[in-house]
Chain A
């Protein structure tokens, strides 16, 4: 089998999924105490974000009295003030470019590679996948410094393209493993038929495998897009020009800058997380399955 070492350990957990009905019989009747504990944990998880929202619509005096309660007046104008003061328009445009660019290029790079690993018998394919896992557990801080000076020399420092290339390099190994395991679940019949009809590998990939892999590609796009949107270390290191800052560092510099007004900082932060919260709630199953597979070894 060509399963990489770390992935194979996690496989049993996922391999034999049990139907919801039989799962239900497995669980005993849990009473109200369990629900109370779970609700407390849920409040622990979401409460701080709700407080953050409250702080975003407080007046400064209100915030000065307490950052832990409800606002006494709801100051919705904080959002527009934060938007202009933190230069959010540029941030959103830059983040959009970086996120879409990263997700699209990663899908292409990972789609090609996953197809080769899933369908073309590549000599040394399993060793290659082990190598992918090893390189993706290298500390970013180690290659950060040489990469920084290389990017400065190549003229990629302080450009959005430079950041997109970095993100594709960072995220495509995991995306490849995720897509490969998705492609392995697809039936081979259509591909065989197309090959018999004389189709080349590229047209098999683009006409048959990729269209059938759309759910997998969507997961990859969401996971890499979210990672690119939230990424901080490389964003803060590789982009200095205020016109090119993505949202994460736009927010960071606003918070670190002259503004001591935490209501506006909160408003800016909430503007940054709102699109992802909405997208997550709309597509939570896909997000959770895609992201949690990294904890299951990426396969």
Chain B
């Protein structure tokens, strides 16, 4: 490799791009190997915890594995069963509702909060901290905080005469709202960081053109933070399909499956119904959905880049 490249480098010096260092030939192989040695612990632990089990999940999804004992290959049976499984379709639908809710409500609240913060002079840091606090509180505790607020004996449920977590028509909305409460402050902070990177002279120009705060938001702020906005939209979709904690703690998917998500369904199939093969198929479908979302995102980004 090195021996063949050296003569050409000598014979045609002008076409060769200048090498970053003089001792490249001596070092070429060694530091690169050494670099991978530094990466080895990360690769090993990531492979053991994430990659290898994920590959096994793909394999098990084609079997009737119960979780204990041997697995028999059953081809696409699990996937075919999924399509006619009402519980699966119910969970998938709830995940779609969940995604739409989180694309709209917390994003709007986060944008609004961040934009309001860019327009005030005092207490900006204080508000930022206060909005962020629910995000650092453990999901189990957040769920409990709201169970206690919403309860039907002495809480909001009693005051309003409804059962926010027990009524199948309301339960999903209640759980989503609680999760949103813990989540939107995070978006404020991220959007605020992005908005502070927008060039101030654009605002000055907009003001000279007579644009008010609302107009400035839509014609300066929003275009200015578009990369962050798009990225958080992507992550919202991915994370919405992984939502688990709040449903598991507050309603366990009930009442009557009205809050069941793919994740809670998978958990029940794997650990209560002892159908690990079927649960793996649900997991693979979830992974496929996020993969498709990522690919669509990358394609859109590429198309947009061409436009610019």
Contact = CB atoms under 8 A, between A and B. Distances in A.
Interface of A: 5-6, 9-18, 22-28, 30, 34-35, 37-38, 41-42, 44-46, 48-49, 51-52, 55, 63-68, 108-110, 112-113, 115-117, 120-123, 125, 128, 132, 134-150, 165-166, 168-170, 172-173, 176, 201, 205, 226, 229-230, 232-233, 236-237, 247-249, 251-252, 255, 262, 265-266, 269, 272-273, 276-277, 280-281, 284, 287-288, 291-292, 295-297
A112 B38 contact: yes
Nearest to A265: B144
Interface of B: 20, 31-32, 34-36, 38-39, 41-42, 45-46, 48-54, 56-57, 60, 67, 109, 113, 116-121, 123, 127-141, 144-146, 148-149, 151, 153-156, 159, 181, 185-187, 189-190, 193-194, 196-200, 203-204, 207, 213, 225, 227-228, 230-232, 234-235, 238, 241-242, 244-245, 248-249, 262-263, 266-267, 270-271, 276, 279-280, 282-284, 286-287, 290, 294, 298, 301
Contact of A121 (B32, B48, B118): B32
Contacts of A297: 231
Given A49-B137, A113-B38, A172-B45, A139 B241 contact: yes
Contacts of B213: 28
A281 B41 contact: no
Given A170-B49, A280-B133, A142 B35 contact: no
A146 B277 CA distance: 10
A262 B262 CA distance: 30
A113 B41 CA distance: 8
B41 to A, nearest CB: 5
Contacts of B121: 24, 27, 30
Contacts, number: 336
A27 B119 contact: yes
Contacts of A236: 248
Given A26-B200, A232-B248, 14 more contacts: A13-B193, A18-B197, A28-B119, A38-B120, A45-B130, A123-B35, A140-B242, A142-B287, A145-B266, A170-B50, A173-B46, A269-B144, A276-B137, A277-B133
Contacts of B128: 288
A17 to B, nearest CB: 6
Contact of B32 (A42, A55, A123, A150): A123
Contact of A12 (B31, B140, B227): B227
Q: Which of B189, B231, B241 has the most CB of A within 10 A?
A: B231
A128 B43 CA distance: 10
Given A18-B196, A116-B35, A248-B140, A168 B53 contact: no
Contacts of B146: 48
B50 A138 contact: yes
Contacts of A135: 46, 50-51, 54
A138 B34 contact: no
B245 A30 contact: no
Contacts of B130: 42, 45-46
- The 5 lowest CB-CB distance pairs between A and B, nearest first, are A169-B49, A142-B283, A26-B200, A122-B35, A13-B194
B184 to A, nearest CB: 8
B154 A65 contact: yes
B286 to A, nearest CB: 4
20 contacts: A10-B194, A13-B227, A18-B197, A25-B204, A27-B119, A38-B123, A65-B154, A66-B154, A67-B151, A112-B38, A112-B42, A122-B32, A122-B35, A139-B287, A145-B270, A147-B49, A248-B138, A255-B140, A262-B151, A269-B144
